[in-house]
Structure 1
């Protein structure tokens, strides 16, 4: 898969991914608006080109408060994200070319005010979705938010994802309607963050096409 080319769908205004991006950006704005005064921490897993966060921060009033870490395995995408951040004068944006599944990459920034998990849940198994949500209790501060996405194709895992978050002390704040193919959710963490488990990998990136292949159970 050419993950840089994959992002081209965002440039087609009526595509499902483009509409999803706008929704995620709206939720990011609201999450930043709701954060308390002072420095803010943002973590993005499998950040890609970070069009979600970098599409919001340049014009947001909290832009200079945000220290963000974008973790993405594809070096072309991290280069593009880093260039976009520099061009916008966002000097507290870290782009890390690495495996986002390894919790070590969030040390020093977790627990964060905002955790972005966009474009991941449709590419990993159900077991790894639950493991990633479990890790969110390490990545998110009390009162912080997770913004996540998942398609609603059969089997629709969105209700299960919401249940997994709620079982771990997260309260559902917002969810796209059932009629939307690309679902976006926002969960607020009301629990106490657990210590970050260094050396732990929480998912294996399988890929949407493999997961949807005949015989797959996820």
Structure 2
């Protein structure tokens, strides 16, 4: 996959990715609005260029409260994000599937798992969701994406989240051309299990 070319579609007006980004950013804004007063911790797995968060922070009233870590394996994408990130946003060039990347930043108030679930196996999706309580503070917002093509796994993914103490906040309509899901964590945070791999990217089946 040419991830540079893939990200270029964000700049094509009306494209599926541009429309998905707008919805994700709307939900990021809402998640920041819901966060309790005081510091807001954010982590983003497979962050790409970081647009989900960075473009929202440019004018969000809570931007100075945010401390974030974006993890992205591709050095060019990570570099693009790093050049545009404010001081309180750390961009890490590394494997986002490794739990050690998030040490010291979780449990977080906003967790972004965008662009992952359509590129990993069903078993890895389940494994990642099972670990989600390690990433989320009570009341945290978690945003994820996956296509809604057959087989449409989005309703099942919602069920997996809900079985782990998450409450559904939003799921885009199937005919939108993309899938965006939002869950609020209503359970108790779990300690981060370091030294673990959540998924293998590019192994969808």
TM above 0.5, yes or no, is yes
State the SS of the aligned residue for 2:13: coil
Alignment gaps of 5+ in structure 1? 212-217
Please say if 1:148 is aligned against 2:139: no
Within the candidate set 177, 182, 198, 2:178 is matched to 182
* Residue of structure 2 in register with 1:159 after alignment: 155
Partner Cα distance (2:156, 2:144) in 1: 13
1:55 positional shift = 1.1
Partner Cα distance (2:106, 2:37) in 1: 18
1:181 positional shift = 2.0
Alignment of structure 1 residues 9-158 onto 2, 5 Å: 9-85=9-85, 90-158=86-154
**Alignment length (residue pairs):** 205
State the SS of the aligned residue for 1:113: strand
Partner Cα distance (1:181, 1:126) in 2: 21
Alignment gaps of 5+ in structure 2? none
1:178 positional shift = 2.2
Show structure 1 runs of 4+ deviating over 4 A: none
1:180 positional shift = 1.6
TM-score by length of 1: 0.92
* Residue of structure 2 in register with 1:206 after alignment: 202
Partner Cα distance (2:175, 2:76) in 1: 34
RMSD: 0.8
Partner Cα distance (2:177, 2:115) in 1: 13
Partner Cα distance (1:50, 1:5) in 2: 16
Partner Cα distance (1:65, 1:28) in 2: 14
State the SS of the aligned residue for 1:151: coil
